[in-house]
Amino acid sequence: MAELVHITHDSDDFSEWDSKIGSGIATSAGAALGGSAFGVEATPALSASFATWSADPGVALDALRFAARFDRNTLALSAGTTALIMALTWNDLLKIYLKEDSGFYKIHIESEEDDTSVQSATSTATVPAVEVTIEARILRASSDVASDGAAYVYVNNTEYVSLTGLDNYDNYNNWDLGNFAIYNLVSGGSPSGTWYIDEFFVRDDDTQIFSDTFRVLGLAADIDRLYVTGLKNGVFQLYRYLLDTLAEDATIPEFGSATDAEIDSLDRGLLPAVKPGVDGWPFLFGRDGNDIQVQLSDDGGDNFSDISDGGWASTKMAIALLPAPLRSDDLIAAFADNDIYRSSVIGTPTWVKLGDAPVTLRRAARHPTAGAELLLAGQAAGEVEYTHNYGVSFEDVSPAVPDEFDGQTEAHADDGYVDSGGAYNNTGAQVLIANLSQNFSIWVRFPSVAIPPGVAITTAYVTFTPDSDYPTGTVTVDISAEDVDDAVAPTDATDFNGKTRTTASETWVVGALTSGTPVNTPDLSAVIQEIVDRGGWASSNAMQFLIDYVSAGEGILRRFQAYNHADRPKLHVEYTYGAGIINAIEVSL
């Protein structure tokens, strides 16, 4: 038994498929998932369109698996609509659908039994709007009179939906028409957008296709045990290990069902802290909106409760427990824009401010030998710093490392202008700020800004090149950035005006300009700092600057070259970062 097929689309064609029927399916570099050069891009179709691969193992099979990487991308289905995305088409043994349900997307499966009746089920869990793995596992009934076959569908190796008690024995004895398909078929509604599929696998046994992943979120240790929190295939889990052997002591595989996105809302994960001398599960701390939560029981249950009364607006958090008997019931915490607080974890919380932290706090720990002292570590101006006296005085432990980024707009939609009358243009050869019959404002979007989160921005500006001489007058504008993690270009004037601006902004008084001579904006470090400090910012996300008209003399304008010129808008950023602060890692098990 072995892998029958593994298609990764190394070229922009369908030569590795047996057939393509209908329309709406094409290979695309933009649809590449899992590192391949090209993937399948499907545009919703109400008539069947699919690409297939046929197999004939020549023997009856007791088990079978097929899988692919999937991203629902911009797919939009109307209420109750289903989209068939993958299938074992011979005898309709298993079909996998994406099903719209009250604004969410779930996995729906159908399996035809030997008597041609159809069994079906829909998952309760929803498919996240990111790249995922979808894997089907089919088990054959033990005899032609038994009904103990089964079908399972896993998303990121987490079981989403299953069918058991299937009478499918005869289906596995009739294998000569085994067709596996990437489908593009929508039932009802008015679908729009596209979805992606890539790295299609088929195995003629029960060997798992996609490997498990574990994203580490937090660590803590007592005298003889190590506690690890993290996401295994998108599900939160807590592990306990014996330190002398690192043998696994106990796990809680069913510890809640939080998805990666939900865990991220808890300050990128649940952080453990251990009271020394107490054998059991650690205290777990996290954020729910602006509330700090703690799970105090030792049974590993998913029973978090608030220990704060809201108002914690910071996205940063560090926690630790002081060792018994010294203030053994006190939680030492760093919340609320890096102010350091202490509170009892027993009874009604009473927060006592201990000091101001001049850093972005990332981690906290007990000092191993210094009694009641606490270690806190974080970053300030790119340098890693720590303290051991409640955060009043920090010391540098690593130098700042300088780096820089340079980028340009990459598509017509990345720059454009709107005017006060509602006009919108994202295809022009120039962008302009002006006081003509209307007032003009512009946007500039840089789609892949490779700046790590949390670094210290030291210098930043956007460079524009004027298309003509402008010897007289001035135009005053206000420059901010769109206050989101990954900016999307505006689609009309209303969208531009409605975008949320950063709190930080810079005034730019644009004076005399010479044609072809580049001009830089004022320093935008504070604006960009606000973006890279966002909890959801990631390197290579898009960053967009919104340049709003403020004032100018009548008839005064400044016009700059846009995307379709070599001297289109450019972004230059210089920053520093420290070494040694780790938030999360992802490994294969």
Write phi, then psi, for 260 (nearest 5 degrees). Answer: -55, -45
3-state SS class at 39: strand
Structural domains of the chain sorted by starting position, each given as residue range(s) with its CATH number in brackets: 3-203 (2.60.120.200), 213-401+583-588 (2.120.10.30), 403-577 (2.60.120)
Q: In sequence order, what are the beta bridge partners of 180?
A: 53, 88
| Distance in angstroms between the alpha carbons of the first and the last residue of the chain | 23
Q: In sequence order, what are the beta bridge partners of 421?
A: none
In the 8-state DSSP scheme, what is residue 498? H
**Predicted local confidence at residue 325, as pLDDT:** 41
pLDDT < 50 stretches in the chain: 176-177, 252-269, 297, 299-301, 313-315, 324-328, 370, 391-392, 579-589
Residues 6+ apart with CB under 8 A from 117: none
Closest CA relative to residue 290, chosen from 272, 275, 307: 307
Rg for the chain, CA atoms, rounded? 29
Q: How many C-alpha atoms does 326 have within 13 Å on its Cβ side?
A: 12
DSSP H/E element including 532: helix 525-532
Whether residue 464 contacts residue 519, with contact meaning beta carbons closer than 8 Å, is answered with: yes
Other Cβ atoms within 10 Å of 223 Cβ, number: 9
List pLDDT tens digits, range 90-132: 656 889 999 998 888 999 999 988 888 999 999 988 888 888 8
Give the pair of three-digit tokens for residue 576: 């520093």
pTM passes above 0.75:
no
> Where do we find the tokens 């295994």?
232
Pairwise CA distance, residues 44 & 254, whole Å: 36
Q: In sequence order, what are the beta bridge partners of 219?
A: 228
Pairwise CA distance, residues 587 & 469, whole Å: 56
**Predicted local confidence at residue 403, as pLDDT:** 83
Residue type, 24: G
CA dihedral 155, 159, 165, 167 (to 10 degrees): 20
**Predicted local confidence at residue 253, as pLDDT:** 41
Whether residue 167 contacts residue 115, with contact meaning beta carbons closer than 8 Å, is answered with: yes
> Where do we find the tokens 């700059």?
560
**Predicted local confidence at residue 541, as pLDDT:** 93
Q: In sequence order, what are the beta bridge partners of 520?
A: 463
